[in-house]
Amino acid sequence: MIHCLTSSYKKDFARAKALNQKLMKRNDIVHHLFVEQTELHIFAPLIGHNKTLLHVKPDGGEGGLGRSGTMARFPCYLKMLEFLKDGDTYIQLDSDVILVDDEVIIPALVCAEDEIKGFYHPHYPTHMDRKETENSKFRFFSMSGMTICCSAEIFKRSIPKREDQMLAVIDLMLNEGFTPSEDVVLSFL
C-alpha cells in the first residue's frame, strides 16, 4: 500500500483537490491530508472517498521553514507511523505537485524495502556546498520536498519518536549551518 502525506491549507485547496483526484484513481493509495483545525470544513468534501483521510496538523509552521516548520510537520510524521506497515511506501507530495501521467509516475515512486526516492540535483547536492577542507562528517543529499519517498521500514526507523529527539536533530543541523526546513530534515533522517 502507498500512504501519501500532503500538508495543505485553504489557499491551496484547488491544487490539493486536483492531486487527490489523481491519487484516488488508484486502488493502492491512501491519501493523508493534513490541515489546520480551522480549515477542516474546507477539505471535508474530499473524504467522501474511503481512501482519503483528513488529519489535523498544528497551526502555523511557517510553510515548512525552519524549526517551526519542522516541528509542525513532526506530529504528521508520528500520525503516519500509525498507518505504515512493512512493505508499504511512504510518499510525501506537496499539494502543488501535478501528476501528468499518474499511470507511469505513481508506480515509479513505489519503494522496495530499504529504498529511498526523491528529487535532487546530482551535480549540486547539499553536501557539495561545503568546502572540501571541512572536517565535518555531516553529509547527506537533500531531496526536494515536492516528492520524497521511502519504504515503510526506513520511515519507521528514521523518524524520532519523541519531540526532544526531533529538536536535537534540528539543533544538530543548525550547528552545522543548515536551515532545518521540513524537507531538509526529512532528507537527513
Helix residue ranges per DSSP H, 34-65: 40-43
The Cα–Cα gap between 76 and 58 comes to 9
3-state percent helix, strand, coil for the chain, nearest multiple of 5: 45, 15, 40
> pTM here?
0.90
**Sheet containing 116-118: which strands, arranged edge to edge?**
52-57, 29-36, 2-7, 89-93, 147-151, 116-118
Segment 81-105, tens digit of pLDDT: 999 999 999 999 998 888 888 888 8
The Cα–Cα gap between 149 and 26 comes to 17
Segment 121-158, tens digit of pLDDT: 777 777 766 665 566 767 778 888 789 999 999 999 99
